[in-house]
């Protein structure tokens, strides 16, 4: 397992429960229904020209991929362990940064993308900004590389535990 895939994933208890329920639904009724559709389509005959069969197989592949993704994530999950309120950026913190030179301030959750909701944007520890701020303290200025190759500085304005 690579370092990126073996890292712990911080999740609130509510998000952990939601993802676990999704996994159980996918492993049970949803997968069974799609397997039946594959079987029914296979019984129709010539598989080369059977669009229903190919669509069901594709859907089954997507479901199996999501099942694997959820299984691995839930195995690595750190649930509800709110980080200390010490101003140090780590997964599970709500972080506010000021993008130096752009006069732009942004607040986001530093953690798993699965925590994203309508109320807050999420930056993962694997993102360029995430890698730069991980372990930084309130008041620190970090530099990271934008997708276009340019360097950007970000000042950590605040870092507090995310309460959901």
CB atoms within 10 A of CB 163: 8
Q: Among the CATH numbers 3.30.465.10, 3.40.50.1240, 3.30.365.10, 3.10.50.30, which is that of 93-161? A: 3.10.50.30
Residue 3 pLDDT more than 70?
no
Q: What is the pLDDT of residue 64?
A: 96
Report the topology of domain 3-79. Answer: Helix Hairpins (1.10.287)
Four-CA torsion 128, 87, 93, 89, nearest 10 degrees: 20
Q: How far apart are CA 117 and CA 47, in angstroms?
A: 41
103 close to 48: Cβ distance less than 8 angstroms: no
More confident residue, 82 or 30: 30
pLDDT exceeds 90 at position 45: no
Mean pLDDT score, 3-18: 71
In this prediction the pTM is 0.63
User: Is residue 150 scored above 60 in pLDDT?
Assistant: yes
Q: Quick check: 4 pLDDT over 50?
A: no
């Amino acid at each position: 397992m690579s370092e990126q895939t073996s890292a712990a994933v911080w999740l609130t208890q509510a998000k952990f429960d939601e993802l676990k329920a999704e996994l159980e639904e996918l492993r049970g009724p949803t997968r069974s229904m799609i397997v039946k559709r594959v079987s029914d389509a296979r019984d129709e005959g010539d598989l080369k020209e059977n669009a229903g069969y190919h669509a069901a197989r594709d859907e089954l592949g997507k479901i199996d991929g999501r099942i694997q993704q959820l299984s691995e994530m839930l195995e690595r999950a750190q649930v509800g362990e709110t980080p200390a309120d010490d101003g140090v950026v780590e997964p599970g913190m709500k972080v506010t940064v000021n993008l130096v030179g752009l006069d732009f301030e942004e607040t986001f959750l530093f953690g798993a993308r699965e925590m994203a909701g309508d109320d807050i944007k999420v930056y993962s520890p694997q993102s360029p900004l995430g890698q730069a701020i991980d372990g930084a303290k309130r008041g620190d200025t970090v530099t990271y590389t934008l997708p276009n190759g340019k360097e950007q500085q970000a000042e950590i304005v605040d870092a507090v535990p995310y309460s959901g």
